[in-house]
Amino acid sequence: MIPTRLTQGRWGSRWQTMYGEDCWGFAASVCGVHGPRWHASGNLARLVATAVLLASHGSAAFADPPPGFEVIRVTSDSDYEGGSSVNNCGQVVFDRRMGATWAFGEVFVYDNGRTFRLTNNMDRDVGPDINDSGQIVWARGVGSGGASMILHYDHGDVKMLAQNADGVLSPKIANTGHCTWPELLADGCHGVDTRILLWDGFGSQAIIDAGGSHQSPRINDADQLVWTDYDFCPDPWLSDILYYEDEEIRIISSEDPFQRQAATVNDERQILWDELWKDGEDFTDTLILYDSGVRTVFTDWGEIARNNNHGDVSFSRWYEDDGIYRSWISLQGTFYLITPDPDYSYTTDINEYGEVTLAFDDYPTADVGLMRRIRTGEADFDGDFDLADHREWTRCLDGPEFLERNRTDPTDTLCDCRFLDVDHDNDVDLRDFARFQNAFAPSQ
Verify binding: residue 378, Ca ion, rule CB under 5 A. Answer: yes
Which residue, 275 or 398, is less far from Ca ion as judged by CB? Answer: 398
Q: How far is the CB of 366 from Ca ion (least distance, A)?
A: 6
How many helices and strands in the chain, by DSSP H and E? 6, 31
Q: Which of 8, 43, 121, 254 binds Ca ion (CB under 5 A)?
A: 121
Task: Find out whether 335 and 328 touch, Cβ atoms under 8 Å.
Answer: yes
Q: In 338-399, at which residue ranges do the beta strands (DSSP E only) sit?
A: 345-350, 356-360, 367-373
Verify binding: residue 425, Ca ion, rule CB under 5 A. Answer: yes
Q: How far is the CB of 141 from Ca ion (least distance, A)?
A: 9
Verify binding: residue 423, Ca ion, rule CB under 5 A. Answer: yes
Instruction: For the beta carbon of residue 395, count every other beta carbon within 10 angstroms.
Output: 13
Query: Which one of 25-33, 103-111, 264-272, 410-418 is the stretch in contact with Ca ion (CB under 5 A)?
Result: 103-111
Which residue, 221 or 425, is less far from Ca ion as judged by CB? Answer: 425
Which residue, 83 or 217, is less far from Ca ion as judged by CB? Answer: 83
Q: How far is the CB of 75 from Ca ion (least distance, A)?
A: 5
Identity (one letter) of the amino acid at 21? E
Closest CA to 23 of 290, 232, 178, 285: 232
Verify binding: residue 398, Ca ion, rule CB under 5 A. Answer: no
Query: Which one of 19-27, 169-177, 326-334, 383-391 is the stretch in contact with Ca ion (CB under 5 A)?
Result: 383-391
Verify binding: residue 106, Ca ion, rule CB under 5 A. Answer: yes
Which residue, 85 or 216, is less far from Ca ion as judged by CB? Answer: 85
Q: Is 107 exposed, middle or buried (0-12, 13-18, 19+ CB in 10 A)?
A: buried
Which residue, 106 or 183, is less far from Ca ion as judged by CB? Answer: 106
Which residue, 322 or 386, is less far from Ca ion as judged by CB? Answer: 386
Task: Find out whether 390 and 378 touch, Cβ atoms under 8 Å.
Answer: no
Residues 122-161 that bind Ca ion (CB under 5 A): 123, 125
Closest CA to 349 of 415, 409, 252, 262: 262
Verify binding: residue 427, Ca ion, rule CB under 5 A. Answer: yes
Query: DSSP secondary-structure letter at 374?
Result: P
Written in H, E and C, the secondary structure of 128-176 is EEECCCCCEEEEEECCCCCCCEEEEEECCEEEEEEECCCCECCCEECCC
Which residue, 284 or 413, is less far from Ca ion as judged by CB? Answer: 413
Phi, then psi, of 34 in degrees rounded to 5: -55, -35
Query: Which one of 167-175, 220-228, 398-406, 413-421 is the stretch in contact with Ca ion (CB under 5 A)?
Result: 413-421
Verify binding: residue 77, Ca ion, rule CB under 5 A. Answer: yes
Verify binding: residue 367, Ca ion, rule CB under 5 A. Answer: yes
Written in H, E and C, the secondary structure of 30-70 is CCCCHHHHHHHHCCCCCCCCHHHHHHCCCCCEECCCCCCEE
CA 23 to CA 170: how far, in whole Å? 9
Q: How far is the CB of 318 from Ca ion (least distance, A)?
A: 22
Q: Which of 21, 22, 129, 389 binds Ca ion (CB under 5 A)?
A: 389
Which residue, 319 or 363, is less far from Ca ion as judged by CB? Answer: 363
Which residue, 77 or 341, is less far from Ca ion as judged by CB? Answer: 77
Verify binding: residue 352, Ca ion, rule CB under 5 A. Answer: no
Which residue, 44 or 414, is less far from Ca ion as judged by CB? Answer: 414
* Angle between helix 9-18 and helix 34-41 axes, rounded to 10 deg: 120
Query: Which one of 29-37, 120-128, 185-193, 274-282 is the stretch in contact with Ca ion (CB under 5 A)?
Result: 120-128
Task: Find out whether 174 and 216 touch, Cβ atoms under 8 Å.
Answer: no
Q: How far is the CB of 223 from Ca ion (least distance, A)?
A: 30
Query: DSSP secondary-structure letter at 196?
Result: E
Angle at CA 319, nearest 5°, toward 315 and 325?
45
Site of interaction with Ca ion (CB under 5 A)? 77, 79, 81, 106, 119, 121, 123, 125, 365, 367, 378, 380, 382, 384, 389, 421, 423, 425, 427, 432
